[in-house]
Structure 1
Amino acid sequence: MDIAENAALVVVDVQKGFDEPGFWGSRNNLGADDNIASLIDVWQGTGRPVVFVRHDSGKPESPLRPGHEGNGLKPYVEERRGKGAGAELFVTKTVNSAFYGTPNLDAWLRAEGVGQIVIVGIQTNMCVETTARMGGNLGYDVVVAYDATYTFDLEGPFGWRRSADEVAQASAVSLHGGGFARVVTTGEVVDAAK
């Protein structure tokens, strides 16, 4: 796998509010935070651009709502902001796709000459997947570091319920099998980026 010298790392919604299990339920991939941190470190250490994304939920009960402590980025992410040698952008959004945030992610990436994005964060099947799909639709070479994402158990129609692992795997299959993104491991990305 090739990781471009100017590939942007897009860190989606790694916020404290996702650490409230009473709201979200059971999660998968307990190693995701360590993998996200390692990818930020590699990106900053190689001078590549990093985009930090925060979800500002409009739902009054959401742990991600503005004004609630859970809206803030997790400490290990917040302490890394501004530490890299490369360009950095902070995007806020109220919907699933980071491409519908402020400032305009697509415009910034194009101005920086970025054609490849590596996406990590929370939730695999929600904002990570939606950002990846839209990135693919916009013509970016999209890579998702699967084990640097996580999600939660989910109930859908007809009483169907899927575990967080099942939901994440279905998301990965849709992204990879559907041609929206290459779904890979953190180790593969790190090896290619060094």
Structure 2
Amino acid sequence: MALMANAALIIIDQQKGILHPRLGPRNNPQAEERMLELLRHWRRSERPVIHVQHLSRSEDSVFWPQQSGVEFQERFQPLPGEHLIQKQVPDAFCSTGLESLLREAGIAQVVIVGVATHNSVESTARSAGNLGFETWVVHDACFTFDKADFFGHARSAEEVHGMSLGNLQGEYATVVDTTQILTAD
């Protein structure tokens, strides 16, 4: 396992709205600290950082553009020179120019962190893998929320997280932890 000199860190939906209590119980309380560790590492090594911001089409969303929940959390504010991708659906590749940005920069490897594991992280990682990018998802730098399955059975955030990672592992991405990434240089 080796981290390429131009591997892109993709940080998904670290906006104020994701902290709203109405989203319910979550897992990985340390996820943001892991994301910040990776972000500091990327900035120090001058690798490309891509911030993904969700602009919801639904007025009742925590990411509706007309309220503060759509704004980045202060600790995840993009710096000059870092890329911003705005999306309206979970997949950060869908109608955003992300694929073009990566291809034009010669980036073949992406490291994905953020929220929610079962939604934007999973859909973005699936597309990245399908498009041929070497895709890593950092499980301890992602989190999700409790959710009922199709049959109405309540599932804990940890169960939802684990199933999403299981969906990705091996077929679309390689699932790793922060330490594996930080020691992959």
Q: TM-score range by the shorter chain?
A: over 0.9
SS, match of residue 113 in structure 1? coil
CA displacement 1:35-83 (0-9 Å, x = unmatched): 00110110011010010000011111111110211111111101xx226
Which of 160, 168, 175 pairs up with 2:161?
A: 168
**Higher percent of residues as helix:** 1
CA contact (8 A) 1:14 1:77 kept: yes
Task: Please tell me whether the aligned partners of residues 120 and 128 of structure 1 are also in contact (alpha carbons under 8 angstroms).
Answer: yes
Equivalence for 2:108 = 115
List aligned pairs for 1:119-158, cutoff 5 A: 119-158=112-151
How far does residue 158 in structure 1 lie from its aligned partner after superposition? 2.1
- RMSD between aligned residues: 1.1
Whole-angstrom distance in 1 between the partners of 2:157 and 2:82: 31
- SS of the residue 2:26 aligns to: coil
The aligned counterpart of 2:79 is 82
Q: Which amino acid aligns with 1:17?
A: G
Match of 2:88 in 1: 94
Deviation digits for residues 130-150 of structure 1, max 9, x if unmatched? 000000000000000110000
CA–CA separation in structure 1 for the residues paired with 2:172 and 2:11: 18
Q: SS in structure 2 opposite 1:157?
A: coil
Task: Give the Å deviation of 1:111.
Answer: 0.5
Does the residue aligned with 2:41 lie in a helix, a strand or coil? helix
Structure 1 segment 38-77 matched on structure 2, within 5 A: 38-77=37-76
How many aligned residue pairs are there? Answer: 185
Aligned residue among 158, 180, 183 for 1:188? 180
- State which of 98, 107, 121 in structure 2 corresponds to 1:105: 98
- Structure 1 residue runs of 5 or longer lacking an equivalent are none
Query: How far off is 1:101 after superposition?
Result: 4.5
Runs of 4+ more than 3 Å apart: none
Between the aligned partners of 1:42 and 1:114, the Cα distance in structure 2 is 18
2:135 corresponds to which letter in structure 1? V
**Structure 1 residue 182 displacement after superposition:** 0.4
TM-score, normalized by length of structure 1?
0.92
Q: Within 1, Cα distance between the matches of 2:37 and 2:154? A: 32
Conservation of the 8 A alpha-carbon contact between 1:91 and 1:101: no
TM-score normalized with structure 2 length: 0.97
Residue identity matched to 1:132: A
Question: Counterpart in 2 of 1:32?
Answer: 31
Q: Which amino acid aligns with 2:153?
A: W
Tell me, what secondary structure is at the counterpart of 1:145?
strand
User: Separation in 1 of the partners of 2:66 and 2:153?
Assistant: 34
Which consecutive unaligned segments of at least 5 residues does structure 2 have?
none
- Percent identity over the alignment is 39
- Find out whether 1:20 has 2:5 as its counterpart: no
